[in-house]
């Protein structure tokens, strides 16, 4: 079912007209209400009246994550603080948190876009949504909760953690849709196996997974282990939280709610806008936010935009699944490596599971020493050292083929790699790069 | 007659072997034979115990990767040339041995040699044909 047929199947011309009208209003709104934007627009020599076409958006300056931190808590607020009905922040583990403020209309908007996302995954009033995203300052929990309300489903606001209880409730309440991070879903599968539970006896039919990049191979693994169809959802606190885009049943790219979130792809080095189909950094402008509207936010996520004649009937633009976040990208011996590439290789090798950790060290020489820790699963454990060494060498070879660099493979005991209820911690960087350019 | 051997994956970090023995000790498991194969990165502990299934359960509960493999246990007199006799037979029949270890067992001074061969049924047939005693537990 298409949640908002009028908008989601709109013709290109109508959509662009709607976006342009909203963009003009937005620019006027932030210019007169947010000192931060007024200063930036003035410095760039651009006025609200300069925005005559959608293409003119490229005249506006970008907003970065650092700027959002520097303006903590209310530097980007465009409304009276009393008009805020809900406040969320990013985790702030890497510094000052980023603030997202929602007016009543913003919350309605959030509910609308999340309703569309859940409907894209086939959700409706007959569903029981087990929402295992964390509830709290993190946008995941409440965002999905509002979406479940919007489609009229029952919602189990169980939040993340307490996995055994998750599985028991999943069975007892006959949950049909699971929402959590992809890595947590695989952890659930592991625990279910230990508990002697079989997902074929559950009622789950869809999983909506996000908040971290995951590969197509991981999707295959999740779908097999949890016996459901796995959908990718995308969002970020700076823009709204979850609900920016989601996959439909075609599972080929994420439809962007572009009437609210205007996407661009730019060259991350020059800032130049790239045409559809070209790979680059994803940039969003919130077209209707009242609390904390954002102009041209640089997400640091790498992907590309495309349009196809989607079998679901939606005409909204799609973004390809994330190739990785710029933040997650590691530069190992001068080669760019995304954790998702490593995950892909491990999923491809039949014997291995995607439980891994990367340890980077530069203590012994000037070259990065990169160790990939892979858990020894029962499926490939052998009483003979040569068999384990064979698998270790195979992982080494496959990684070299896929990444172009040689990693030291270390086989480790299962579960010695910390399991995550939220975003998995994949990389431990021990390099001391202070003082380096 | 085959012997059930338990192998356990061990990371090369201090305390892992101690942890296994703690699990076995508190679980009241009696060890009959033990050997470790080690590489630079990891080790494989091989055990013969009195109650293999219970041992597996305890090890898995404690989070270890473990596996039961069948091996050949041959009873030999604890005298010079005891092992040589078996090796001669295996050699003649072209049996490839992956690894072996031994355990002293009874008052009569008999020893058990544990053999891991490529084709266990083939190896066992040869042992029995040669009139040697293969045991299933000890």
> What would the two tokens of residue A398 be?
């496959």
Question: Sorting pLDDT into bands at 50, 70 and 90, what band is B76?
Answer: confident
Q: Is the Cβ of A415 closer than 8 Å to some Cβ of chain B?
A: yes
- The domain spans of chain B are 3-69, 71-135
**Calpha distance A24→A59 (Å, rounded):** 13
Contacts of A384 in chain B (CB under 8 A): 37, 44, 98-99, 116
CATH of A330-429, one of 3.30.300.30, 2.40.160.20, 3.40.50.1860, 1.25.40.10: 3.30.300.30
Measure B48 CA to nearest chain A CA, in Å.
13
| Nearest chain A residue (CA) to B7 | A383
**Calpha distance A146→A244 (Å, rounded):** 14
Instruction: Provide φ and ψ at B83, rounded to 5°.
Output: -70, -35
Buried b or exposed e, range A324-347, using 16+ CB within 10 angstroms: bbbebbbebeeeebbbbbbbbbbb
Q: Is A196 left (phi over 0), alpha (psi -120 to 50) or beta?
A: left
Question: Sorting pLDDT into bands at 50, 70 and 90, what band is B55?
Answer: very high
Closest CA to A132 of A180, A65, A83, A92: A180
Contacts of A377 in chain B (CB under 8 A): 65
| Nearest chain A residue (CA) to B13 | A412
Average per-residue pLDDT in chain A? Answer: 90
**Residues of chain A above pLDDT 90, percent:** 69
Higher pLDDT pick, A62 / A186: A62
**Calpha distance A31→A313 (Å, rounded):** 37
Measure B122 CA to nearest chain A CA, in Å.
19
According to CATH, the topology of domain B3-69 is: VC0802-like (3.30.2130)
Measure B100 CA to nearest chain A CA, in Å.
11
> Does the domain at residues B71-135 carry the CATH identifier 3.30.2130.10?
yes
- Nearest by CB to residue A376, choosing from B5, B16, B65, is B65
**Which of B10, B41, B63 best tests the A interface by mutation, with the highest count of A CBs <10 A?**
B41
Element (H, E) at A291: none
> What would the two tokens of residue A248 be?
């439909």
pLDDT digits (tens, 9 = 90+) for B78-125: 788 888 888 999 999 989 999 999 887 666 778 899 999 989 999 999
For A:361-400, CB contacts with B below 8 A are 376-378, 381-385, 388-389, 392
According to CATH, the topology of domain A1-326 is: Rossmann fold (3.40.50)
- Nearest by CB to residue A413, choosing from B39, B65, B69, is B65
Strands A154-156 and A128-131: parallel
Question: Sorting pLDDT into bands at 50, 70 and 90, what band is A361?
Answer: confident
**Which of B2, B12, B13, B44 best tests the A interface by mutation, with the highest count of A CBs <10 A?**
B44
- Identify the contact set of chain B against chain A, taking CB-CB distances under 8 A: 5, 7, 9-11, 16, 37, 39, 41-42, 44, 46, 63-67, 69, 98-99, 116
Asked whether this chain's domains A1-326 and A330-429 adopt the same fold, the reply is no
Taking residues A30-58, report their average pLDDT.
97
* pLDDT above 70 for A432: no
> What would the two tokens of residue A84 be?
């805020």
- Nearest by CB to residue B42, choosing from A377, A411, A414, is A411
Contacts of A411 in chain B (CB under 8 A): 9, 11, 41-42
Answer yes or no: are the C-beta atoms of B60 and B18 closer than 8 Å: no
Answer whether A383 sits within 8 Å of B11, measured CB to CB. no
Q: In sequence order, what are the residues at sequence separation of 6 or more whose Cβ sits closer than 8 angstroms to the Cβ of residue B58?
A: B23, B24, B27, B29
Asked whether this chain's domains B3-69 and B71-135 adopt the same fold, the reply is yes
Answer whether B10 sits within 8 Å of A377, measured CB to CB. no
ipTM above 0.90, yes or no: no
- The domain spans of chain A are 1-326, 330-429
- Nearest by CB to residue B11, choosing from A382, A392, A413, is A413
Q: In sequence order, what DSSP letters do the residues of A250-267 get, joined into one string? A: T-SSEEE-TTTEEEEEE-
The region of weakest confidence among A143-157, A167-181, B34-48 is B34-48
């Amino acid at each position: 079912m298409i949640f908002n047929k009028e908008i989601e199947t709109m013709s290109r011309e109508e959509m662009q007209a709607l976006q342009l009208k909203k963009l003009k209003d937005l620019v006027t709104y932030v210019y007169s209400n947010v000192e931060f934007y007024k200063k930036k627009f003035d410095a760039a020599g651009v006025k609200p009246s300069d925005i005559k076409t959608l293409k003119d958006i490229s005249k506006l300056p970008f907003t970065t994550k650092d700027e959002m931190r520097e303006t903590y808590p209310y530097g980007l607020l465009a409304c009276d603080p009393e008009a805020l009905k809900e406040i969320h922040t990013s985790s702030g583990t890497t510094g000052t948190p980023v603030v997202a403020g929602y007016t009543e209309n913003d919350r309605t908007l959030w509910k609308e876009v999340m309703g569309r996302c859940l409907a894209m995954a086939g959700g409706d009033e007959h569903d029981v949504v087990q929402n295992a995203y964390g509830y709290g300052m993190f946008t995941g929990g409440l965002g999905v909760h509002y979406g479940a309300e919007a489609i009229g489903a029952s919602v189990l606001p169980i939040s993340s953690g307490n996995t055994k209880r998750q599985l028991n409730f999943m069975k007892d309440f006959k949950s049909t849709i699971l929402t959590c991070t992809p890595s947590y879903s695989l952890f659930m599968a592991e625990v279910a196996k230990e508990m002697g539970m079989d997902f074929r006896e559950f009622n789950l039919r869809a999983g909506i997974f996000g908040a971290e990049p995951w590969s197509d191979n991981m999707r295959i693994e999740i779908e097999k282990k949890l016996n459901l169809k796995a959908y990718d959802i995308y969002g970020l606190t700076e823009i709204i939280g979850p609900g920016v885009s989601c996959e439909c049943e075609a599972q080929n790219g994420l439809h962007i709610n572009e009437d609210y979130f205007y996407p661009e792809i730019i060259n991350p080095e020059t800032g130049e806008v790239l045409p559809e189909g070209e790979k680059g950094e994803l940039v969003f402008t919130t077209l209707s936010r009242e609390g904390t509207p954002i102009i041209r936010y640089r997400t640091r996520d790498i992907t590309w935009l495309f349009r196809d004649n989607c079998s679901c009937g939606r005409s909204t633009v799609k973004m390809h699944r994330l190739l990785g976040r710029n933040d997650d990208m590691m530069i190992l011996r001068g080669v760019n490596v995304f954790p998702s590439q490593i995950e892909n290789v491990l999923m491809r090798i039949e014997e291995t599971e995607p439980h891994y950790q990367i340890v980077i060290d530069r203590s012994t020489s000037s070259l990065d020493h990169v160790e990939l820790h892979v858990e020894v699963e029962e499926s490939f454990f052998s009483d003979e050292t040569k068999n384990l060494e064979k698998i270790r060498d195979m992982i080494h070879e496959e990684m070299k083929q896929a990444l172009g660099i040689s990693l030291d493979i270390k086989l480790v005991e299962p579960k010695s790699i910390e399991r995550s209820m939220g975003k998995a911690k994949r990389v431990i960087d021990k390099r001391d790069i202070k003082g380096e350019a | 007659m085959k012997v059930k051997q338990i192998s356990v994956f061990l990371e090369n970090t201090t305390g892992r072997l101690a942890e296994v023995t703690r699990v076995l000790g508190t679980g009241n498991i009696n060890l009959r034979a033990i050997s470790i194969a080690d590489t630079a990165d990891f080790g494989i502990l091989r055990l013969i115990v009195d109650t293999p299934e219970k041992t597996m359960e305890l090890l898995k509960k404690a989070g270890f990767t473990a596996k039961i493999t069948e091996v050949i246990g041959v009873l030999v007199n604890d005298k010079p040339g005891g092992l040589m006799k078996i090796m001669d037979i295996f050699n003649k029949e072209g049996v490839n041995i992956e690894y072996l270890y031994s355990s002293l067992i009874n008052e009569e001074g008999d020893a058990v040699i544990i053999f891991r061969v490529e084709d266990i049924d083939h190896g066992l047939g040869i042992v029995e044909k040669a009139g040697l005693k293969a045991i299933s537990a000890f």
